[in-house]
Structure 1
Amino acid sequence: MEIPMNPMFTSVRVGRYMLPNRLVMAPMTRSRAAFDGTPGELATEYYVQRARLGLIVTEGTQPSDDGQGYLTTPGIYTPAHIAGWRKITSAVHDKGGHIFIQLMHAGRMSHPDNTPHHRQGVAPSAIAPGAGMFTATGMQDIPTPRALTTEEVRRTVAEFSHAARSAIEAGADGIEIHGANAYLVQQFFAPSANTRTDEYGGSIENRARFAIEVATAIAEEVGADRTAIRLSPGTALWGIDEGAEGPDLYRYLVAELDKLGLAYVHILHQSNEPLLADIRKLWRQPLILNRPGRPRGQIGADVASGLADLEAFGQMVLANPDFVARLKADAAMNESDPKTFYGGAAKGYIDYPVLSARTDTSS
């Protein structure tokens, strides 16, 4: 017997699209692309299986050679990348789904062995993250990155814009900028990673400038209603420390981004509930909230309370391609297998079991 879960199964407008429900597939790196960054052969099936969520946000996808951090992650800046992603977006659309490609520049979270040009990573400042990186020869220390010049920062903004245009050419419905999880955009926010003395360092306004310029450039290139951003206020991964000014930086940033009329902001929430409430007040467009590890019984609580317009889920969607059907039927969920999260082939990628046709009453 189908159990309704209002309001999660009500439609919602996000940018120029009317989504059929408020469930979002969170971006999850799977490291199954070809070495040239073209999406792997199994990726189409992977995303199509999950097309009934209101919105799919893809795995982090590099906008340039410099943007790659991990082995076999996809790109979206060459004709081959565009052709590979077009197969995926077309198949998702054929199933009635919507898909935003997440643009992720890893910045200093990179290793020369993993990138096409085999050069050291780039970052706001020449400060190593103090972390290891998996490479084809095993774990290695991440080397100290090279600090971007002011002109190179501006060229990186242009690379994001080019990648966004490429994503639209590949049939994506929109772009999510990865401004979270200790990658390049957040590296600019954090004084522990950004000691610049030009217009991209120092004050709150300067440290937020790169994110705002990237969002502005992409909005101008493909439309604000196809542009979004993911943020993770308070994330302390891999040497990132946003300092005492961190919450105020996000209040300033969100207020400035709100002026652009972007499709949504996607918050990976850590623990600062007052800051989250302030972001909700400052942001007038749809807000997607992702609370890692949220119990099954709390699905829909943030939408019901009005704190969010949509909710994003990672591992539960990874392990349950029929996530929407299972929620509607109040069916048990598969458990995810961490051993198959990164790299490999079909196992742990497209072979998680789905409900039988008799059990799935949601069609």
Structure 2
Amino acid sequence: MSYQFLKPYTFENGMTIKNRIVIPPMTEASSLENGAISNDELAYFRLHTGGAGMFIAPVANVTENGKGFEGELSIADDKFLPGLIKLAETLKHNGTKAILQIFHAGRMSNSKILRGNATVSASAVAALRPNAETPKELSEAEIEHIIAAFGEATRRAIQAGFDGIELHGANTYLMQQFFSPHSNRRTDKWGGSVEKRMNFALEIIKTVQKAAEKYATQPFTIGYRISPEEIEEPGIRLADTLKFIDVLAKQPINYLHLSMGYAWRTSLNDKSDSEPIVKKVLQQLNGRLPLISVGLVETPDDAEKLMNAGVDFVAIGRESLREPQWVQKVIAGQEAAIRYTVAESDFEELGINLAFQDFLGLLNADLHIVGSSQSKDEFDKKMGGVEGGV
């Protein structure tokens, strides 16, 4: 069968992607303590790359105080370049484009992870989660320093050989914290109105674009990942996000990545609205930016359904953990051989080490693990961040 998702795509910057399947950034918590790439990670990526058109590597922090969890990759210093070069080379197998997601965790960290240092955010407002620490409000100078750090991270990504970077503006991390009225209570140019709450992200986009223009010698792709809603009050609502998307569509970025645990999810806050969020986003974009959609896409039919709706790229998250050869088997007409279940004994073969298992809760979660009794609802509650970029 001829699938739309197997067709190539060329961005406006001239970069051609061999197909429309994307591996989304799924943290494996396996970097070394200082943020350097580990051999375990390289082995995992070597097993899982080569089929998809783009492989978005798990998130890397741009500053030391931007670390969000143990085992997290870092791009905060030139000392990490040798390992990042190895990562880019590993991902770029068989024509797959290597994209590196970069971020600052902001208040979604803690002083233990930061080795005694306080978390920071747009405002001194704690996240609504158990044991959340109240972050320090960033000063103007500190904000400018973080923005510059995104530019330096982009420079390092280019020097390491990545084909692009993805700005992690989703999953409640710092870029989203500046956009959110819950975490951003500022009254200066960085907060207040919905337009001012966009400024942090827009300045980062401007800075990384300048870095790309200065250092890249071939087409370099810049993506932006966004979460459409928050349940906090006050919090981000769909109307805010659609306004933001309208502005993002005019920025020097190459794609938008919609972060959701289920690709066809409807509004969390307006239960009377039955239209999938992905359709609202496509309507707002109106073809101005290509869109990546993610969330419980498993079968070729699942991916094709999203393509038929107008999505440009489909991200295969959890299923890519179970079946690293998903794309290759579709191309070869071997769909009947695609693996949709795994056993715990398969983890070593799949490169899923113990740190990865512990981080994702795979040993007891229903990742279609043979013999698991956990319900889908229990699984989704526990694993909701996996394809969202943890």
For normalisation by structure 2, the TM-score amounts to 0.78
The counterpart of 1:164, out of the listed 133, 154, 158, is 154
Task: Trace 1:74-93 onto structure 2 (pairs within 5 A).
Answer: 74-93=73-92
Residue 338 of structure 2 is aligned with which of 332, 351, 357? 332
**Offset from partner CA, 1:133-185 (integer Å, 9 cap, x none):** xxxxxxxx232111111222122111111111111111111000001111111
CA contact (8 A) 2:44 2:352 kept: no
Letter in structure 1 aligned against 2:244: L
Q: What does 1:302-317 correspond to in 2, within 5 Å? A: 302-306=306-310, 308-317=311-320
Aligned partners of 1:16 and 1:226 also within 8 Å? no
- Aligned sequence identity (%): 26
Q: CA deviation at 1:298?
A: 1.6
| Residues 219 and 225 in structure 1, CA contact (< 8 A), matched pair in contact too | no
In structure 1, distance between residues paired with 2:113 and 2:46: 28
Contact 1:29 1:342 in 2 (8 A): no
Q: Deviations over 1:320-362 (max 9, x none)?
A: 211212334212324368998997368899xxxxxxxxxxxxx
In 2, the alpha carbon distance for the partners of 1:56 and 1:80 equals: 23
Match of 1:10 in 2: 7
Q: Give the aligned partner of residue 304 of structure 2.
A: 300
Decide whether aligned partners of structure 1 residues 180 and 337 sit closer, same or farther in structure 2, where only a CA change above 3 A counts: farther
Which residue of the partner structure matches residue 110 of structure 2? 111
Q: Distance in 2 between matches of 1:191 and 1:343?
A: 38
Q: How many residues align?
A: 332
SS of 1:66's equivalent in the other structure is: helix
* Contact residue 226 and residue 256 of structure 2 kept, 8 A: yes
Q: Which amino acid aligns with 1:261?
A: P
Distance 1:324 1:275, change over 3 A: closer
Q: Classify 1:184/1:7 alpha carbon distance in 2 versus 1 (closer, same or farther; 3 Å).
A: same
Q: Deviations over 1:57-99 (max 9, x none)?
A: 1111100111101011000122232110101212333432211
Q: 1:150 pairs with 136, 140, 144, which one?
A: 140
CA distances 1:103-148 after superposition (whole Å, capped 9, x unpaired): 0211101112213x5311111111111325xxxxxxxx23211111
C-alpha deviations, 1:191-226, integer Å up to 9, x for none?
111111111111010111111111111112114952
Summarize the alignment of residues 60-139 of structure 1 with structure 2, pairs less than 5 Å apart: 60-115=59-114, 118-132=116-130
Q: Aligned-residue CA RMSD in angstroms?
A: 2.7
Equivalent residue for 1:358?
A: none
Task: State the alpha-carbon separation in 2 of the partners of residues 142 and 30 from structure 1.
Answer: 23
Question: In the alignment, which residue of structure 1 is the partner of 2:291?
Answer: 287
* Structure 2 unaligned blocks of 5 or more: 214-218, 268-274, 361-390
- Separation in structure 2 between the aligned mates of residue 144 and residue 5 of structure 1, nearest angstrom: 53
Q: Distance in 2 between matches of 1:185 and 1:23?
A: 26
* Selected match of 1:24 from 22, 34, 38: 22
Q: For 1:245-295, what per-residue CA distance to the aligned partner results, in whole angstroms no more than 9, with x for missing partners?
A: x223222222222222311111124424465434324431211111x2245
Q: Which runs of 5+ in 1 are unaligned?
A: 133-140, 350-363
Q: Give the partner amino acid of 1:130.
A: L
1:36 maps to: 34
Equivalent pair of 1:225/1:263 in contact (CA under 8 Å): no
- CA gap 1:23/1:155 in 2 versus in 1, 3 angstroms: same
Deviation, structure 1 residue 303: 1.0
Distance 1:122 1:74 in 2: 19
Instruction: Give me the whole-angstrom Cα distance separating, in 1, the residues matched to 2:296 and 2:101.
Output: 21
Aligned residue type for 1:242: G
Q: Which amino acid aligns with 1:260?
A: Q
Q: Deviations over 1:291-328 (max 9, x none)?
A: x224524222111232x101112111122211212334
Q: Which stretch shows the higher mean deviation, 324-333 or 178-187?
A: 324-333
Report SS of the residue matched to 2:39: coil
